[in-house]
Amino acid sequence: MIPQIQRNIVRFNMVNNRDDLILATLSNSQKLHSESFEYQSLFLNLIVPDATNARFLPSVFIENEHARQFIERKLTKKQLVDLYDAEGQVIIGKDCIINCLKYASSDWKKANQTIESIIELGENISVSEVIQAPTVYPLEGNKYQILTGHRRFFALIFTFGLDHAAQFKVYDSKPLLYKVKQFQENASREDLPQYGKLQAFLSAMQEIDGIDQARLKIGEKKMTIRDKAKNLGVSMGAFDNYNVLTRYSEVIDAYEKGLSASFVKVKKIILECEQNYRELHDKKVLNLGDKKKIGETIVARLSGKTTPNGKNKTYNLKKITQVDVLKKLLFLDVSTLDTDIDWEQLDWDDHTQVNKALEGLLNKLR
């Protein structure tokens, strides 16, 4: 409990420091996106990933020799885990990536998807250069933290090893709106999972809200929706999509658990659920209690348990006109009959699939 409190205090202090810097920047009439940078060649062993980034993969980087020994079966996975204290992380080295997260857990599955994309990108990098250099900013001790390009960085280690040097875009210092910069890249990439994009948007909006508060303190108006979209580097339509999708934590949780439906489809479901609730309860303004109930309805819709009008789905049998068909249904184990229906593979929670099977069963019994 104490470590969690400490993390919350650190986060609070970080937010306060960021907001103070934003206020000072605006007060001095400086631009928020005016950080200077240059391109440099840096050794990969000097780079530190950002654990708060949507692209972050809990990882441990191993020496080239240990990666070679593992490939040649001179070191086991357990030996590497013990050597690098890598339990619950992903080991990355030259031509070597090992998923050490809890087997079959949601984190393990998500890590596997990321690993596949890293390997694919690494194969591309091995025959051509990285088109867009990862961006970093300096830390203490001659280290650099990744701002954007986590997957490219992991792919570079996988392809060339930890001792390799590569081209990076290096900022003079940590950008003031670094979460906004991360979102700008994440939103533009098609291969980033939807959950990562939503998390990146929420983080970026905290910085946008910080700008609004700072503007009020110096006597200026809050940014318009158009200004916010412009700062985030997205269209007005995309900004509205993100706003609606992050309105309910249930939607974000669903994407984290593997929901793959498009943003447009889920946004439509959210708006329908809100509209139905307003009409049913004659409400124009929704409070927290209302949103909690709507969130539950959205979850039911996303899981296919309810229809757009909120009614529970039903299992349907067509009218039976033949008494012998009725007797077979009542007194025989129809699952043992030759009906071409695979009852074991049938998804009983999928009403459409079950109703189709029932229709096929009646046709076979006639």
**Is residue 57 a contact partner of residue 49, using CB atoms and an 8 Å limit?**
yes
Lowest mean pLDDT among 61-75, 120-134, 162-176, 349-363: 349-363
pLDDT at 186: 75
pLDDT at 247: 96
**Is residue 144 a contact partner of residue 138, using CB atoms and an 8 Å limit?**
yes
pLDDT at 7: 39
Q: Please report which confidence band the pLDDT of residue 304 belongs to, taking 50, 70 and 90 as the band edges.
A: confident
Lowest mean pLDDT among 22-31, 108-117, 235-244, 255-264: 22-31
**Is residue 352 a contact partner of residue 315, using CB atoms and an 8 Å limit?**
no
Averaged over 200-211, what is the pLDDT?
Answer: 92
DSSP H or E segment with residue 90: strand 90-93
CB burial string 35-54: b at 16+ within 10 A, e below? bebeeeebebebbebbeebb
Give pTM, 2 decimals.
Answer: 0.70
**Is residue 94 a contact partner of residue 158, using CB atoms and an 8 Å limit?**
yes
Distance CA 232, CA 219 (A): 23
92 pairs with which residues across the strands? 61, 97
pLDDT at 313: 61
Averaged over 284-293, what is the pLDDT?
Answer: 93
Q: Please report which confidence band the pLDDT of residue 357 belongs to, taking 50, 70 and 90 as the band edges.
A: confident
**Is residue 171 a contact partner of residue 37, using CB atoms and an 8 Å limit?**
yes
- Angle 249-256/194-217 helices, nearest 10 degrees? 140
Average pLDDT value for the chain? 85
pLDDT at residue 65 tops 90: yes
pLDDT at 1: 37
pLDDT at residue 11 tops 60: no
Q: Tell me the pLDDT tens digit for each residue of 125-156.
A: 988 877 789 999 999 999 999 998 999 999 99
Lowest mean pLDDT among 81-85, 137-141, 159-163, 335-339: 335-339
pLDDT at 77: 96
